[in-house]
Amino acid sequence: MAVNTIIEQYYSAGAGLHDAVKTLRTNIWFSAMDQEIKTIVVTSVNPHEGKSTLAVFLGIAMAESGQHTLLMECDCRRPMLQNYLKMQPDHDLVDVLRRRISAREAVTSTPVERLDLLSSVVLASPVEVLASNRFNGILEEFKQQYDVILLDTPPLGSFIEAAILASRADGTLLVLQSGSTEVAAAQAVVAQLEKAKARVLGCVLNNVNMTSQQYYYADYYKDGRKRKDGGEKGKEKRPPTRKPEK
Ligand SMILES: Nc1ncnc2c1ncn2[C@@H]1O[C@H](COP(=O)(O)OP(=O)(O)O)[C@@H](O)[C@H]1O
Ligand SMILES: [Mg+2]
């Protein structure tokens, strides 16, 4: 069976997922009453907690609401966005860093209107690159061109990049895996983000069982307010469309 792109997964997932992602999008706008939120870092404590998936889903929802949105691959240790989107862009972040082409030329349109991708290859020194003035300049350039920039990052429990980016971004989302992310580890990551003076917009609790419908993705709550349905953990149906990663 052909493996669908993550975009196809989103559109075939049904209203439950769409509602959850749109609620997240709305809550981000609500949290931004007094300050524009243009650059959003998506991170988590551990690998495989759903950062890249959430970044794409939120990107689709943002683009659908009329926002010109850029998905920026900043997990330069394990860049997955282009694989998930099944795209083979002609250019990537390295081409821009080396000034081979402009930032504008390096992005590729996705099948979703108003949603673009800047991909990356694996970098030998991701921390140095993402902390550099050159990278910062590129981000500033994109800020002139896009309404929203979603930065997908490596897990902050193991690598520092997300904190570096979060210190410059307008907001940060922390993805937590229902039933598996350890509370102490999550608290340590939040402390790290606070040390970086990041603005933590909230947490996305992934892999929550939403029994009444075939919800696939996220539940969102902020400031410790729990979701309403109190769903049971660990019994949700995984989407059949993509093999788990190695
Ligand atoms: N809520 C979910 N339910 C089922 N599978 C999920 C869910 N969120 C993510 N996945 C799957 O888990 C794997 C890791 O997700 P990914 O977004 O790559 O995580 P990360 O970027 O944090 O490493 C992927 O195969 C993805 O399809
Ligand atoms: Mg990822």
Strand partners, 43: 174
Question: Does residue 6 lie in a domain region?
Answer: no
Which ligand places an atom closest to the C-alpha of 54?
1
Q: Write phi, then psi, for 86 (nearest 5 degrees).
A: 55, 50
Sheet containing 69-73: order of strands: 108-109, 115-118, 69-73, 148-152, 39-44, 171-177, 200-206, 219-221
Question: Does residue 7 lie in a domain region?
Answer: no
* DSSP state letters, the chain: -PPPPHHHHHHHS-HHHHHHHHHHHHHHHHTTTTS---EEEEEESSTTSSHHHHHHHHHHHHHHTT--EEEEE---SS--HHHHTT---S--HHHHHTTSS-HHHH-EE-SSTTEEEE-----S-HHHHHHSHHHHHHHHHHHHH-SEEEEE---TTT-SHHHHHHTTSSEEEEEEETTTS-HHHHHHHHHHHHHTT--EEEEEEES---TTTT--S-EEE-TTPPPSS-PPSS-PPPPTTSPPP-
Strand partners, 174: 43, 203
Q: What is the pLDDT along the chain (246 residues), one digit of tens a residue?
A: 456 899 999 999 989 999 999 999 999 998 877 789 999 999 999 999 999 999 999 999 999 999 999 999 999 999 999 999 999 999 999 999 999 999 999 999 999 999 999 999 999 999 999 999 999 999 999 999 999 999 999 999 999 999 999 999 999 999 999 899 999 999 999 999 999 999 999 999 998 876 544 444 444 434 434 444 444 333 333 333 344 443
Question: Does residue 236 lie in a domain region?
Answer: no
Question: Does residue 240 lie in a domain region?
Answer: no
154: Cβ below 6 Å to ligand 1?
A: no
Domain count, the chain: 1
9: Cβ below 6 Å to ligand 1?
A: no
Q: Is the dihedral of CA 209, 5, 38, 25 positive or negative?
A: negative
Joined together, the tokens standing for residue 140 give 């500033």
Question: Does residue 119 lie in a domain region?
Answer: yes
At position 73, the amino acid (one-letter code) is: E
Instruction: Tell me the residue range of the domain where 26 lies.
Output: 15-221
Question: Does residue 243 lie in a domain region?
Answer: no
Residue nearest to ligand 1 atom 14, measured at CA: 48
CATH number for position 187: 3.40.50.300
Joined together, the tokens standing for residue 3 give 């493996």
Joined together, the tokens standing for residue 22 give 């749109």
At position 186, the amino acid (one-letter code) is: A
Question: Does residue 232 lie in a domain region?
Answer: no
Q: pTM for the full model?
A: 0.86
Question: Does residue 82 lie in a domain region?
Answer: yes
Joined together, the tokens standing for residue 181 give 């992310």
Please tell me the predicted confidence (pLDDT) of residue 89. Answer: 97
Ligand 2 ion: Cβ-proximal residues, 5 Å cutoff: 51-52, 80
Please tell me the predicted confidence (pLDDT) of residue 217. Answer: 46
Please tell me the predicted confidence (pLDDT) of residue 241. Answer: 38
Contact call for residues 150 and 85 (beta carbons, < 8 A)? no
49: Cβ below 6 Å to ligand 1?
A: yes
